[in-house]
Structure 1
């Protein structure tokens, strides 16, 4: 059925609405813009107005984007987070004790911890919420069929999840938590001591490199120089636990000196506000609040001093057993002796005798000590003999005087 055309003198009736005014053409020139217009241009100019070509190209671009940002199967990449196992101890956490909980463990980020990115924290939180949301538990028909009550502990774990997300998405509070990370505190106990190097010392590089790598996270200055001396990209790998072989002496010396200079002036951002004592609940006394704040401030300062002393102790121990320091001193001594010998040879003076080995020096030192001890013993005997002779002379004199 054909629809007749409107008469030439037709005019639309005037609007009688008192609420919405009649829509009129805006003044000025309209500019074509927006995603729809850009899509139209791509359709017309790049695909000749063919919708099939346009749809095929759009599908290829979508697959390429998923391959770049996804897991290769056309699915969104979950960045490998949020799939850790959940034991009973974790699921029964008390949300009131949220300062004592491991927030990374709650979100399934134990394998990443302080290296977790904001995107990984976001994805892990979303997965945990989808799994433990109260509405999700209430609608779980499988659990209801088995007669299981999924709303145990008053959804306490869900509150722990929300608190963990709140802490880890706040930069300042996350730093406070990272400063007292329970895993880091456990690792600190594994630092070697001086007694470990007295007999059968462990390999130097493998022992201290992880320690400094762990402490480097707290440095305000990044990047932090590592213990091992860097090698050239085309250099062959050298299995040297003391990190001496395969390095040019100037480069080795410069790196070692810069390393200890950095760590003896280590500037740490680690703080201890997380361990502050809370003001007594229900107390409105200003004196209580001031006292608590003063006590917290002094405790933070004390812990900071202890932490600085702890790091300084690690650096001192590392310096005292560093084989590279001994190697550098030996090389410098040999260079000085060679320079002195060259100078003597040039001036015509007799060459200085070659430096003695450490064993020979120790033997000479022991021999000298024995000679000194023997001389002291002889002097002591001579002194005793002289005293006895004087005593006898005095006795004989008294006898003669009496006669």
Structure 2
């Protein structure tokens, strides 16, 4: 329990030679009306409480939740958003890197950007570098007992910053990024494709492969693998793009360094020639590697089989349609032929009837003439005169 102690304070007496100050002869300035505008964190907090009808306790809870959210997103102690970079775990093998072997190092891992790699922006690289420098500067370890490699790792940090902030050198490093070189072997084999029973195996395993390779394309955007129901035009466009893939990937980063201090021109020319030859060889091998991936994907793509089956069914349907149309035309022609034959038969019967009537008429006339002659002959006989 707290105890309260009252302490009496007695002001000291005035000096004997003290006199009150003489009044000033200056006139008092006139009163001026000023308009004060409320501002500041306290006023903003008051407005938030008033608008959202929050109590002080509820407002404090909201503030704590907001601070936690900003903390997860990487807000530093000074309130500056560090974009969540540079805080990756530092294993022992990373801290013991040899600064002289900088070409064999993963510069993104050194700066704590392994999760971003080639997607890291310039601002993220600068923030990560600043955090690493503040953490591993040799002056911070001065006087600490024990063998420490902070000086060597600090040099690795500086070298990583030098490489990644230079666009040309960063592109050279991205071309041979050790992280992606390890992933290049993770391509499905023909045996795996043949033995799988998963209908989505092709898309699950080949889609990440083409996404990784797309970063080297000079032409953007790059068509991705797509889904099973992609149209024939999309599938053909995808393979046409990847069979004509224009890669900016280069291998200068792996060039053999010319011996420092060497003044021998022949040595320099030989080294440069050797480096150029090695770059061309690696470029050729990389092109063949990518072409092999595209060939394998084309041979295993289930959409090719689906498109061929659809085209076959379309041809058969078209053929059936033509056959049906031909059969319908024959029936119509047959009906017309029958009508034509009936018409010709009717015409022929009419002609026969006409001829029969004409012959009957002639026969009737001939019979009448014969009867008339017979009557004349009979009358002549009766009269006794020759007919």
CA contact (8 A) 2:137 2:150 kept: no
Cα distance between partner residues in 2 of 1:170 and 1:59 = 44
Q: What's 1:342 paired with?
A: 321
1:210 to 208, 211, 214: 208
CA contact (8 A) 1:106 1:160 kept: yes
Q: What's 1:174 paired with?
A: 170
C-alpha RMSD of matched pairs (Å): 2.9
Q: Does 2:301 align with 1:322?
A: yes
1:183 to 179, 184, 187: 179
Q: What's 1:273 paired with?
A: 252
Cα distance between partner residues in 1 of 2:44 and 2:271 = 63
The answer for unaligned runs of 5 or more in structure 2 is 1-21, 27-33, 46-62, 330-387
Instruction: Show CA shifts across 1:303-326 (max 9, x none).
Output: 111111111110110000100000
Cα distance between partner residues in 2 of 1:134 and 1:193 = 49
Q: What's 1:129 paired with?
A: 133
TM-score (normalised: structure 1): 0.63
Alignment map for 1:190-269 (pairs within 5 Å): 190-200=186-196, 203-229=201-227, 243-244=228-229, 252-269=231-248
CA contact (8 A) 2:176 2:253 kept: yes
Q: What's 2:101 paired with?
A: 97
Cα distance between partner residues in 1 of 2:111 and 2:290 = 31
CA contact (8 A) 1:176 1:273 kept: yes
Alignment map for 1:77-96 (pairs within 5 Å): 77-96=81-100
CA contact (8 A) 1:95 1:156 kept: yes
Cα distance between partner residues in 2 of 1:187 and 1:149 = 38
User: 1:197, CA displacement in angstroms?
Assistant: 2.3
Seen in structure 2, the aligned counterparts of structure 1 residues 4 and 286 have a Cα distance that, compared at 3 Å, is: farther
Q: What's 1:160 paired with?
A: 156
Seen in structure 2, the aligned counterparts of structure 1 residues 197 and 172 have a Cα distance that, compared at 3 Å, is: same
Q: What's 2:266 paired with?
A: 287
What's the secondary structure of 1:157's corresponding residue? helix
CA contact (8 A) 1:70 1:76 kept: no
Instruction: Show CA shifts across 1:3-34 (max 9, x none).
Output: 678xxxxxxxxxxxxxxxxxxxxxxxxxxxxx
TM-score (normalised: structure 2): 0.65
Q: How many residues align?
A: 277
Q: What's 1:111 paired with?
A: 115
Cα distance between partner residues in 2 of 1:201 and 1:281 = 58
Structure ID, larger Rg: 2
Cα distance between partner residues in 2 of 1:81 and 1:137 = 23
Q: What's 2:291 paired with?
A: 312
User: 1:54, CA displacement in angstroms?
Assistant: 3.8
The answer for unaligned runs of 5 or more in structure 1 is 6-47, 230-242, 245-250, 351-403
What's the secondary structure of 2:86's corresponding residue? coil
User: 1:258, CA displacement in angstroms?
Assistant: 1.1
User: 1:56, CA displacement in angstroms?
Assistant: 5.5
User: 1:278, CA displacement in angstroms?
Assistant: 1.0
